[in-house]
Amino acid sequence: MPRPRFDKLSPERREQMMEAAAREFAQHGYDGASLNHILQAAGVSKGAAYYYFDDKADLFVTVVGHYAEHLAEHTDYDLAHLDAKRFWPALEELYRQGIDHLDENPWMLGVAKSVWRLSKEARGQRKLADLFGASRQLLEGFVERGQKVGAIRRDLPTDLLVSLIVGLDAAWDQWFLENLERRPAREMKEITYKLLGAARRLLEPDKGARK
């Protein structure tokens, strides 16, 4: 949690720090992110930074929570009430809501999902271990719900399916951020939907497989 001094900053100053950190974490992940780059982009000295956060892990947890909450306020996805017919259309709609909201702040989703890719070394820190566990549990819950209603295949172990999702997602996030300013927004959205379709074909039950 940030120190009380952080809450006393103006909303504009807090958002500036959150945005600088989110951009760095989304682009490079927790392990690859440079605290010095974040502070330089935010216009904060290294000494002053410790008035607001205990360390890099504290900053990361704060940023993830900040943008995850922001995304949740602008999307609607009730996993527990989805059946096989509504499962994938609801996920596609969730992506559309998220992408539409990310037009101005495209790094939001990247930093929220960077939790899944924390290294084993990073997860050894208590703050990050708790965050990783909660995030991984959400992803496992998505897979298990899909398997329960028949929308996700059951012939592969759940942990393997989760790893496949994380790997595909990591490749997409990296490509998305690298090409964000090179390609039109409309094209980026179209590619996103195509990738979601590819993920769906990977995860859906093989109807031709033997039972």
| Contact (CB, 8 A) for 65 and 43 | no
Distance between CA atoms of 70 and 150, rounded to whole angstroms?
31
Instruction: Taking residues 167-191, report their average pLDDT.
Output: 81
79-96: per-residue pLDDT in tens? Answer: 788 888 989 988 888 777
CA of 137: how far to CAs of 74, 123, 131, in Å?
22, 14, 10
Residue 210 has pLDDT above 60, yes or no: no
Residue 104 has pLDDT above 70, yes or no: no
Six-digit token string for 25: 């974490």
| Contact (CB, 8 A) for 151 and 204 | yes
DSSP secondary structure, the chain, as one string: ---HHHHTS-HHHHHHHHHHHHHHHHHHHHHH--HHHHHHHHT--HHHHTTT-SSHHHHHHHHHHHHHHHHHHT----GGG--HHHHHHHHHHHHHHHHHHTTS-THHHHHHHGGGG--TTGGGSHHHHHHHHHHHHHHHHHHHHHHHHTSS-SSS-HHHHHHHHHHHHHHHHHHHHHHTTTS-HHHHHHHHHHHHHHHHHHHS--TTS--
Six-digit token string for 19: 């945005």
| Contact (CB, 8 A) for 193 and 91 | no
20-70: per-residue pLDDT in tens? Answer: 999 899 888 899 999 999 999 999 888 888 889 988 999 999 998 887 777
Q: For residue 4, name the pLDDT band (cuts at 50, 70, 90).
A: confident
Per-residue model confidence (pLDDT) at position 76? 66
Which residue, among 139, 166, 170, 154, has the nearest Cα to 203 in the 3D structure?
Answer: 154
Output the pTM of the full model.
0.72
Distance between CA atoms of 116 and 118, rounded to whole angstroms?
6
Q: For residue 211, name the pLDDT band (cuts at 50, 70, 90).
A: very low
111-169: per-residue pLDDT in tens? Answer: 877 888 888 899 888 889 998 888 888 889 989 999 999 999 999 999 999 999 888 88
| Contact (CB, 8 A) for 122 and 64 | no
Q: For residue 98, name the pLDDT band (cuts at 50, 70, 90).
A: low
Amino acid at 79: L
